[in-house]
Structure 1
Amino acid sequence: MTASPAPAAAALTTRAQEVSSRIVDDILTLVRQETSSYDPPGLAAGLDLLRELTVQRLGQPDHEHRHPGGECGDTLTLTYAGTGTGAGPGAGHVLLVGHYDTVWPTGTLAGWEQPGPSDDGRDRLSGPGIFDMKTGLAQGIWALKLARESGAPVPTVTFLFNGDEEIGSLSSRPVIEEAAQKADVTLVLEPSAHGAVKTARKGTGIFQVTATGVEAHAGLAPQDGASAITALSEFVVAAAKVAAPDRGTTINTGLFRGGSAINVVAGQATAGVDIRVSSEAEQDRVDEELDAIKVSDPRVRIEIDHAWNRPPMTLNAASAPLLALAREVALEQGRDSLPDTAVGGASDANFVAALGLPVLCGMGAVGDGAHAQGEFIYPDTVAAQTGLVAGLLGRLARPLRG
C-alpha cells in the first residue's frame, strides 16, 4: 500500500505530465546536435545549444563560467539563486551534473533508425545519446523550471555540463570536485537503471600498454626481429585471466594497434585496456598481477600506464539520507517504491562519492541500450522522472547536511 501523494509532489508530477511533449521536444533538439567526445566543433555547438535552451527555460543565470576543456569539450556551470524563504543564508545548494558528449561519431544520426514499440506496446524514442544522457539534461532543466513555477521555496541550483565524461572527464574532474564541495548535495542526471537510482558504481581504469620490440625484415631475417605484436598479444591474453567476475572485476582490451608494414616484424604495438573493479583491494590486486605478466621473448619491453580513472562508488554515509529523501518524494508522487542498485558503469558521481559527499546518480532517463545502436527512452516516463527531481529540489531548499 502506498502513501497518499502529498499535494506538492503530486502537483509537480501532474504539471510535468502536462508539459511532457515540450520536454520531449527539448530532448530531441539536443539529440539532433551531434556531440561526439572527439569532435571539438560539434561539442562547442552542442554546449552553446544547451546553454541557449537552459536560458530559454530558466532565464539568465545569476552566475556562469565556461571552463576551457582544451582537446576535450568545455565545462559550463550555470547557477540560479534560490527563491522564496529558502533563499539567503542557510539556503540549500544543489549541484545538477550532466555530460553532453556522446560515444557516437559525428554523422551517426543520418543513418539512425527509430525502433517500433516495445514488446509490451510502449512507445520508444531513439537517437545517438538520447538515453546516455541528453534526456537527463532536458529533464533537469525542466525540473528546476517546474519547481520554481510552483511558488514553493527552491534551493540554489548549479548546473554543471561537461563534454568529456565518456572519455574519463579528463579536464572536468577538478571542476566537478570543486563544485560538489561547494554544494550541499549532488544529483547526477545519468540514465536510471530501469527506474532505479544508482548508488554504487565500479571504479574504472583506462590502461595503455606499450610493447617495444625489434624490427626486422619478415622474409630475409625474421629471426633478428622481436615482434611487439606477438608479445602484446600474449600480454592481452594473460591480462584477461586476471579478471575476476565473481569479485566484480572485468578486463577488456578494446583497442589494439601495432606494426609499420606487413613485411616487417613489428617493433611497436599498443593496447587500450578497460578495467572495472568494485573495491580498492581489487584495484591493488590488478595492478600487482598485471605488472607480473611475462612474455616469451625477453627482447620485447612491456610498459603499463596504470591510469585509474574513477574510484569505486558505494552508498556512503552522507548519501544515505539523500536516498531516503528521494524515496519519500517518490512515495508522495504515488510510486510504489524507488529502488536503488549497483551497476558496472562509472560516472562523475564516482568522484563526488569518493570525497565523502552526498550524491545520487541515475536521476535521468528510463530506457535502455547505453552505448549501443538503438539506445532508447520510454517517453511515457519523462514526466515522472522530471517530477521526481523537481520534488526533490523542493525538499532541498534547506541544506540536507549540517
Structure 2
Amino acid sequence: MTASPAAAALTTRAQEVSPRIVDDILTLVRQETSSYDLPGLATGLDLLRELTVQRLGRPDHEHRYPGGECGDTLTLTYAGTGTGTGTGAGHVLLVGHYDTVWPTGTLAGWEQPGASEDGRERLGGPGIFDMKTGLAQGIWALKLARESGAPLPTVTFLFNGDEEIGSLSSRPVIEETAQKADVTLVLEPTAHGAVKTARKGTGIFQVTATGVEAHAGLAPQDGASAITALSEFVVAAAKVAAPDRGTTINTGLFRGGSAINVVAGQATAGVDIRVSSEAEQARVDEELDAIKVSDPRVRIDIDHAWNRPPMTLNAASAPLLALAREVAREQGRDSLPDTAVGGASDANFVAALGLPVLCGMGAVGDGAHAQGEFIYPDTVPAQTALVAGVLVRLTRPLRG
C-alpha cells in the first residue's frame, strides 16, 4: 500500500533518525534496573528522565511518586498544540515500565544473539524487548510528531518501576492519570508486530499450611505435616485449571519445614493464576477454598491476591484500534493485526475502568523474560512512526 505524503514524510524521518533511537535504547539497556534493586531503579529513572528532557525539552509538569519498596513512578507532561479550549487539544497517556525481571549483574554475561535465520540483525540485552525499546520509541514518537509541524495533543509519559512485580505502588497513579487522559497507549512490546487488545487477568496467591511440629523419629504420630498437606493442596489446585477456558494455575514456589528430622509445622506456596474472564476468577476462588486436605489438624489459609483484572477490547478501545489501523495503512503497512496474550500489563488496569487503551505499541522481537530476549532494529522506524502518527491523529479527544 502506498503511503500518503504526510505519513511518508513521518516514516522517512523515523528511518533517518533510527540509529539515534537505537543508541537511546542501548543507553537504557546498559543501566540495569531489576525490580528488586532500588538504587539501580533510581539511577535508571534519573537516566530515563534525562533522556526524555534531552529529546523533548523540560516538561510543562512533572511529578515523582515515591515507590517505597518499589521503584518510583514519574509523570512528565508536555502541553498540546491543538486547537480548542481547556483540554480540547486532547490528552494522551503513554505508559511504560523501566524495571526488568533481570537481576543486577546479568548484563555482564549477556551474549548477543547474532542474525536471525533469514539474515535480519537482532539486538539483545536484559529488558531490551520488555520494554526499554518501547520507552525510547515513545519519546522519539513525540519528538517526530512535533517536528512534523502538525497540531498535537497534550502528552503525559508515565514511567513506573514495579510493573514486573505487579505494579504494587504505581497502580493507583496509573488509574488516576488514565482517568484524566482521553486515550492511553501502553508501550509494551508487540506480539510479533501485533498490538495486544486482550490480556489475561492475574492472581498471585500465597497459600500457607500450618500443621503440628513433632520429632520425626520419636513421636511422628504427634505431628501433622504442613508439607504433606500443602502438597495435597497443590495437586488439587492444579486440577482447578481449565486451559480450554483460558485458566492456568502454576505453583512456582514451595517452601516449608524447619529441619529434616522435624515434622513440618509450616509450609508456604506461591501460586500464579491466569484467567480470561471475571467468571473464571470467581470459579477459581470458590474451588480453591473448597479444597480439603487429608489431615484435619492442618489449617490451610489462602491469600486471594488478584493482581490484575482481565483485559478485553472494550467499546471505548475499539475506535482507538480502528484509528491505529488507519494510521498504519496511511504509512504504507498492509495491516496492523491485534491479538490476545496470556501475560498481563498495566493496560489491564486502564481497560477495567472502561477507558480506551491499546497495548503492545512498542518493540518487535521476541524472548520476553528469557536469556534470548531480542529486538529487530529494522522495525524501530516503523514502530516509532506508528506511535507518532497516532499522536498526530489524536489532536482531538477520541471520546467525549
- TM-score exceeds 0.5: yes
TM normalised by structure 2 equals 0.98
Q: How far apart are 1:257 and its partner, in Å? A: 1.1
Of 125, 128, 147, 2:126 maps to 128
Are 2:66 and 2:72, in contact at CA under 8 Å, matched by a contact in 1?
Answer: yes
Aligned residue in 2 for 1:152: 150
Q: How far apart are 1:20 and its partner, in Å? A: 0.6
Are 1:204 and 1:309, in contact at CA under 8 Å, matched by a contact in 2?
Answer: yes
C-alpha offsets along residues 176-218 of structure 1, whole Å, 9 cap, x if unaligned? 0010000000000000000000000001101000000111112
Aligned length: 400
Partner Cα distance (2:187, 2:200) in 1: 18
Q: How far apart are 1:105 and its partner, in Å? A: 0.8
Are 1:133 and 1:189, in contact at CA under 8 Å, matched by a contact in 2?
Answer: yes
Partner Cα distance (1:293, 1:153) in 2: 59
Change (3 A) 1:300 1:55: same
Change (3 A) 1:79 1:87: farther
TM normalised by structure 1 equals 0.98
- Secondary structure of 2:326's counterpart equals helix
Change (3 A) 1:84 1:284: closer
Partner Cα distance (1:178, 1:21) in 2: 36
Partner Cα distance (1:134, 1:93) in 2: 23
Q: Can you give the 5+ residue segments of structure 2 that lack an aligned partner in the other structure?
A: none
C-alpha offsets along residues 91-112 of structure 1, whole Å, 9 cap, x if unaligned? 1100000000111111111111
Are 2:2 and 2:331, in contact at CA under 8 Å, matched by a contact in 1?
Answer: no
Change (3 A) 1:91 1:84: closer
Aligned residue in 1 for 2:74: 76
Deviates more, 1:385-394 or 1:230-239: 230-239
Partner Cα distance (1:179, 1:225) in 2: 53
Q: How far apart are 1:83 and its partner, in Å? A: 2.1
Q: How far apart are 1:119 and its partner, in Å? A: 1.3
Q: How far apart are 1:156 and its partner, in Å? A: 0.5
Partner Cα distance (2:255, 2:106) in 1: 24
Change (3 A) 1:189 1:2: same
- Secondary structure of 1:84's counterpart equals coil
Q: Trace 1:205-224 onto structure 2 (pairs within 5 A).
A: 205-224=203-222
Partner Cα distance (1:64, 1:121) in 2: 43
Are 1:33 and 1:42, in contact at CA under 8 Å, matched by a contact in 2?
Answer: yes
Partner Cα distance (2:197, 2:153) in 1: 23
Q: How far apart are 1:296 and its partner, in Å? A: 1.1
Q: How far apart are 1:87 and its partner, in Å? A: 7.8
Q: How far apart are 1:364 and its partner, in Å? A: 0.2
Are 1:81 and 1:87, in contact at CA under 8 Å, matched by a contact in 2?
Answer: no
C-alpha offsets along residues 319-366 of structure 1, whole Å, 9 cap, x if unaligned? 011000000000011000000000000000000001000000000000
Partner Cα distance (1:75, 1:304) in 2: 30
Are 1:188 and 1:349, in contact at CA under 8 Å, matched by a contact in 2?
Answer: yes
Q: How far apart are 1:8 and its partner, in Å? A: 2.0
Partner Cα distance (1:88, 1:52) in 2: 29
Q: How far apart are 1:369 and its partner, in Å? A: 0.6
Aligned residue in 2 for 1:363: 361
Q: Percent identity?
A: 94
Change (3 A) 1:182 1:84: closer
- Secondary structure of 1:131's counterpart equals helix
Partner Cα distance (2:330, 2:16) in 1: 18
Partner Cα distance (1:127, 1:232) in 2: 38
Partner Cα distance (1:315, 1:134) in 2: 25
Change (3 A) 1:86 1:394: farther
RMSD of the alignment, in Å? 1.1
C-alpha offsets along residues 281-308 of structure 1, whole Å, 9 cap, x if unaligned? 1001100110011111111110000011
Partner Cα distance (2:331, 2:287) in 1: 49
Q: How far apart are 1:88 and its partner, in Å? A: 5.2
Q: Can you give the 5+ residue segments of structure 1 that lack an aligned partner in the other structure?
A: none
Partner Cα distance (2:216, 2:7) in 1: 72
Aligned residue in 2 for 1:21: 19
Partner Cα distance (2:86, 2:301) in 1: 54
Deviates more, 1:216-225 or 1:325-334: 216-225
C-alpha offsets along residues 88-142 of structure 1, whole Å, 9 cap, x if unaligned? 5511100000000111111111111111211111111011111000000000000
Partner Cα distance (1:8, 1:161) in 2: 30
Deviates more, 1:95-104 or 1:218-227: 218-227
Partner Cα distance (1:248, 1:86) in 2: 45
Q: How far apart are 1:86 and its partner, in Å? A: 6.8
Partner Cα distance (1:265, 1:99) in 2: 44
Q: How far apart are 1:260 and its partner, in Å? A: 1.2
Q: How far apart are 1:3 and its partner, in Å? A: 6.5
Q: How far apart are 1:265 and its partner, in Å? A: 1.3
Partner Cα distance (2:165, 2:57) in 1: 31
Partner Cα distance (1:344, 1:24) in 2: 28
Change (3 A) 1:86 1:257: farther
Change (3 A) 1:86 1:263: farther
Partner Cα distance (1:174, 1:384) in 2: 32
Change (3 A) 1:75 1:264: same
Partner Cα distance (1:177, 1:118) in 2: 39
Are 1:43 and 1:163, in contact at CA under 8 Å, matched by a contact in 2?
Answer: yes
Are 2:82 and 2:153, in contact at CA under 8 Å, matched by a contact in 1?
Answer: no
Are 2:314 and 2:354, in contact at CA under 8 Å, matched by a contact in 1?
Answer: yes
Are 2:82 and 2:396, in contact at CA under 8 Å, matched by a contact in 1?
Answer: no
Are 2:212 and 2:297, in contact at CA under 8 Å, matched by a contact in 1?
Answer: yes
